[in-house]
Amino acid sequence: MAHLLVVESWVGSMSRLLPRAIQEGGHTFTFLTRDLHHYLRTAPEGAAHPLLGARNVITADTNEPDALLPLVARLHEVLGFDGVLTSCDYYLPTAALAAERLGLPAPDAAAVRDACRKDTTRRVLEEAGVPGPRFAVHEEWARIAAAARDIGYPLVVKPVDLCAGMYVRRVDDEAQLAAAVAALADFPINARGQRRAPAVLLEELLDGPEVSVETVSHAGAVQVVGVTDKSIGGAPAFIETGHMFPAALTAAEADDAVRTALDALKALGLTEGVVAHTEIKLTPAGPRVVEVNPRPAGNRITELVRHVTGVDLVAAFVDVALGRAPDLRRTDTGLRSAAVGFLVPESTGTLTALDGTGLRSLPDVLEVELVAPGRQVRAAGSNNEYLGHVMVGAPDGTGARARVEGLLGELRSGLVIR
């Protein structure tokens, strides 16, 4: 039995999946957080949050690595950790630094830091010749506007250090660009109390379907688990409205996506102790890297993979954090595809009607999770405003995509926001 240090977590499904994987592996964990209530607020009514299954819950300022790392070293002397990990992007570099400090298995901390900064990722990949969009990074408005004219409209505006699609916007002219930059400037501190970098990333708008390549790196080898597709909505935002595994691609398209993802991981140095989720746009000119995430995929993608292949990417995440070979053997689950669709609010107000009761009894439905009526909601601007999701499995081909979209349509027909 191993003892892991978990430094913060996402508050969504990964805050449940990671504790489950640790415990199902026969391990225990200590949870280190600056604000436990940040997680407890999301616990289902009448149920204990899975993070409370920790052997220890310790409060510390996880936003100050210089002070945190000596504390972690002292805790290690008393508690004895075998691995360090986090599922939250904002703390991935800190977790890697902590593992390095303790001499425990870890991906290269500098590589993790580079992957977590979108502007640095762009520069590293460009220098390595890995294809991506044309881009520019600036802080001052005059230089931002000039770079936008050079790249050409339409383009994409991104923060360099946020997640879940927050403040990522398509802009078609300078007026829209100014509004997007102003909105980003009005959000100087992220949801975890960390001050944001003021830089703005501008990227060429890429055409084509988007996919992600799910990989696991251990002992110098990067193993590809599969390719997931993605549907996007909510323009001018880029909100993930659904995913299917495996992606409905030709063999050549899948090979191109995988090759590009592997090149990106190699360029960044993410080839050891990493479960990665690399997003690729399949443009008419070939695959282009959108971003590289040095952690398991969110938005229930890990569960899609598990339902189709039997491979548990969250359990693999635990294994590589302990320096152990992950079990990536596939089993016949009876499903050939699985898809998840997210219910995205298009207006602001009070949710007065949403009923998915009938979906739960359908034989091909794997999950239904919906918020209860009475909640205040707002028109979605990122992946943080979902009203819930539906997941289905298909025993033949890639039929899960159409099926989940049909079920979402039924839910929308009964959705009332006033």
For the whole model, what pTM was predicted? 0.96
Q: Are residues 194 and 214 in the same domain?
A: no
Please check the confidence at residue 226 and state whether its pLDDT lies above 90: yes
Residue 113 covered by a domain? no
Q: Tell me the pLDDT tens digit for each residue of 285-325.
A: 999 999 999 999 999 999 999 999 999 999 999 999 999 99
Task: From 212, 240, 243, 242, select the one nearest 226 (Cα to Cα).
Answer: 212
Q: Are residues 245 and 305 in the same domain?
A: yes
Q: Tell me the pLDDT tens digit for each residue of 95-106.
A: 999 999 999 999
Q: What does the pLDDT average to over 7-31?
A: 95
Q: Are residues 280 and 391 in the same domain?
A: no
Residue 117 covered by a domain? no
Please check the confidence at residue 47 and state whether its pLDDT lies above 80: no
Q: Tell me the pLDDT tens digit for each residue of 131-152.
A: 999 999 999 999 999 999 999 9
How far apart are alpha carbons 163 and 167 in whole angstroms?
Answer: 9
- The tally of domains found in the chain comes to 4
Residue 275 covered by a domain? yes
Q: Tell me the pLDDT tens digit for each residue of 326-347.
A: 999 999 999 999 999 999 999 9
pLDDT of residue 44: 65
CB count within 10 Å of CB 9 equals 25
Which residue's structure tokens are 């993605």? Answer: 230
pLDDT of residue 42: 72
Q: Are residues 326 and 300 in the same domain?
A: yes
pLDDT of residue 323: 97
Mean pLDDT lowest among 4-8, 40-44, 266-270, 411-415: 40-44
Please check the confidence at residue 41 and state whether its pLDDT lies above 90: no
Q: Which domain holds residue 190?
A: 133-204
Residue % of the chain over a pLDDT of 70? 99
Q: Are residues 303 and 409 in the same domain?
A: no
Q: Are residues 317 and 397 in the same domain?
A: no
pLDDT of residue 158: 98
Q: Are residues 193 and 222 in the same domain?
A: no
CATH number at residue 82: 3.40.50.20
Name the band, by pLDDT with cuts 50, 70 and 90, for residue 46: low
Q: Are residues 323 and 223 in the same domain?
A: yes
Task: From 392, 388, 390, select the one nearest 380 (Cα to Cα).
Answer: 388
Please check the confidence at residue 359 and state whether its pLDDT lies above 80: yes
Q: Are residues 167 and 238 in the same domain?
A: no
Residue 118 covered by a domain? no
Residue 120 covered by a domain? no
Point out the domain boundary residue: 176, 204, 232.
204
Q: Are residues 247 and 329 in the same domain?
A: yes
Q: Are residues 216 and 327 in the same domain?
A: yes
Structure tokens at 95: 């977790």
Contact 245, 304 (CB under 8 A): yes
pLDDT of residue 45: 64
Q: Tell me the pLDDT tens digit for each residue of 248-287.
A: 999 999 999 999 999 999 999 999 999 999 999 999 999 9
Q: Are residues 366 and 407 in the same domain?
A: yes
Give the N- to C-terminal CA distance of the chain in Å, as an integer: 52
How far apart are alpha carbons 50 and 15 in whole angstroms?
Answer: 7
pLDDT of residue 355: 87
